[in-house]
Amino acid sequence: MSDGNKTAEALRLLSVVIPARDEAGCIVSTVEHLHVELRLEGVPHEIVVVDDGSSDGTWGLLQGLAGRITELRPVRNEGAHGFGRAIQCGLDACTGDAVVIMMADESDDCRDVVRYWRKLNEGYDCVFGSRFVRGGGVIDYPRLKLCINRAANLFLRLLFGMKLNDTTNAFKAYRRTVIDGCRPLLSPHFNLTVELPLKAIVRGYSWTVIPITWRNRRTGKAKLKIQEMGSRYLFICLYVWLEKYFSRGDYMKRNPRPASPARPS
């Protein structure tokens, strides 16, 4: 964890990027609840929902909803599909100088998005939510997934020597400068959820942790297939680990040089 930059520029627009594939049962309520919460709290925002090859009417629902919520920007991922690719598509399309990545199934709490925005405005480059610190929590988390989650996060803490204990959670916030500073993004699937925060930490961006809450989806099917992701997670973790210890700082955050004082004429 690192201190925020008190001289960082104030943020003007929050982009919430939501990848969605076959989420017709919940995408409307997810967007509506998020928009109402951000509007009530006075957060300038856009909601970029990326349809990642849905076949259940998700795209049609988004188009109809965009007629009522002008802050909604539906985007179609016309290339190869995958959770990470959908997020990258949304990151390319969004216009905000701050970004929150959020799930489409209402497992993430809209009120935490507001807290992310406020924390970023304290000067931090990144704000990571944790479900496993005081004040955080999970509701109806499948026991097997919970055990795998805790083991994976312990592995990451030991591998990188860091205190963050919920790296694998997708729900996080970044200044746009961090997203640009972590490119190119390599992960086409759910391993993007660890690539972004690990690269941000390794490359020297400031970050902090706040407690968040999570609840299991109430409609639709989970998209994460644990048996398919183990080697992909390991690959990206080792890739960033190699950068940390062998890149000699080539990818570190570069602070802009202060302007030289004008010489008297």
Q: Which residue has the tokens 């109809």?
A: 64
Dig out the tokens for 27 from the structure: 């995408």
pLDDT tens per residue across span 152-192: 999 999 999 999 999 999 999 999 999 999 999 999 999 99
Per-residue pLDDT, 227:
58
**Boundaries of every domain in the chain:** 14-246
| 104 close to 34: Cβ distance less than 8 angstroms | no
The CATH number of domain 14-246 is 3.40.605.10:
no
Rounded to 5 degrees, φ, ψ at 35 are -60, -45
pLDDT band at 226 (very low <50, low <70, confident <90, very high): low
Torsion of CA 54, 90, 223, 189, to 10 degrees: 120
Per-residue pLDDT, 221:
64
CA–CA distance, 230 with 246 (Å, rounded to integer): 24
| Predicted confidence (pLDDT) at residue 26 exceeds the cutoff of 50 | yes
pLDDT tens per residue across span 193-203: 999 999 999 99
Per-residue pLDDT, 1:
77
pTM: 0.90
